[in-house]
């Protein structure tokens, strides 16, 4: 008979290194308490790493850098998928993703229709802010980022250089997604985003 530890590590090793796991990924092998204990024992043995509270991985290994921790984006997406929640990057994170800022935020903030929570990653944190479903209705990855980035910059504060970068990014968005998402933005943001339609 295989122990819970054995079953858990076999499943983890079958996945690609860097894949993230939660307790509920292993509940077919035992109770939540038994699985949690098994995961902690595997951490103590050095078989896996604890990425954050309740989140585990068998980290990728770089020949020079050693163990590579998963990005905050990958962790946020994994949590959202587990919770069946939608998320959108906001603030400095959205600006950084679009190349409008070189600043890497210590606390990355996502709007979410799931539970509001903070995930402690040591020096960094992932913050999920509860928001109304209408704020997550955008269907384009780029256009939704643009809306959040422009909200962060603020009305009347967007520079010509920033507009050029934004329009260049929006060229990569599918036209029907862009047209859909423009309707969701405040009017001053719509005026900027509509300029991208002439390139589509």
Band of pLDDT at residue 146, cut at 50, 70 and 90: very high
pLDDT of residue 32: 96
- pTM summary value: 0.86
User: What total number of domains does the chain contain?
Assistant: 2
pLDDT of residue 154: 96
Task: Say yes or no: 52 and 98 in one domain.
Answer: no
Phi then psi dihedrals of residue 198, to 5 deg: -70, -15
Q: Answer whether residue 2 shows pLDDT above 60.
A: yes
pLDDT of residue 9: 96
Task: Say yes or no: 151 and 189 in one domain.
Answer: yes
**Final residue belonging to a domain, choices 68, 85, 100:** 68
Task: Say yes or no: 190 and 118 in one domain.
Answer: yes
- The string of pLDDT tens digits covering residues 15-39 is 999 999 999 999 999 999 999 999 9
Q: Please tell me what DSSP assigns to residue 127.
A: E
- The string of pLDDT tens digits covering residues 46-63 is 999 999 999 999 999 999
Q: Answer whether residue 200 shows pLDDT above 60.
A: no
Q: Please tell me what DSSP assigns to residue 147.
A: H
Range of the domain at 84: 72-199
Task: Find residue 20's DSSP bridge partners.
Answer: 57
Query: Under 8 Å CB-to-CB from 12, ≥6 apart: which residues?
Result: 19, 21, 42, 47, 48, 56, 58
- The string of pLDDT tens digits covering residues 116-143 is 999 999 889 999 999 998 889 999 999 9
- What percent of the chain is predicted at pLDDT more than 70? 98
**Final residue belonging to a domain, choices 53, 68, 83:** 68
Rg (CA), the chain: 20
Task: Say yes or no: 162 and 133 in one domain.
Answer: yes
Query: Under 8 Å CB-to-CB from 45, ≥6 apart: which residues?
Result: none
């Amino acid at each position: 008979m295989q122990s819970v530890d054995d079953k858990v590590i076999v499943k983890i090793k079958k996945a690609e290194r860097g894949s993230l796991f939660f307790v509920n990924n292993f509940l077919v092998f035992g109770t939540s308490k038994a699985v949690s204990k098994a995961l902690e024992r595997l951490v103590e043995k050095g078989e896996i790493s604890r990425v954050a509270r309740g989140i585990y991985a068998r980290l990728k290994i770089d020949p020079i850098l050693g163990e590579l921790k998963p990005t905050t984006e990958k962790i946020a997406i994994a949590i959202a998928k587990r919770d069946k929640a939608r998320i959108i990057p906001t603030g400095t994170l959205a600006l950084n993703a679009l190349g409008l800022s070189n600043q890497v935020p210590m606390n990355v903030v996502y709007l979410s229709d799931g539970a509001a929570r903070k995930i402690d990653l040591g020096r960094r944190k992932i913050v999920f802010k509860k928001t109304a479903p209408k704020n997550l209705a955008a269907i384009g990855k780029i256009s939704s980022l643009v809306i959040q980035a422009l909200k962060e910059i603020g009305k009347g504060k967007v520079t010509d250089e920033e507009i050029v970068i934004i329009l260049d990014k929006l060229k990569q968005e599918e036209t029907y997604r862009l047209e859909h998402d423009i309707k969701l933005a405040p009017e001053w943001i719509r005026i900027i985003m509509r300029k991208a339609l002439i390139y589509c």
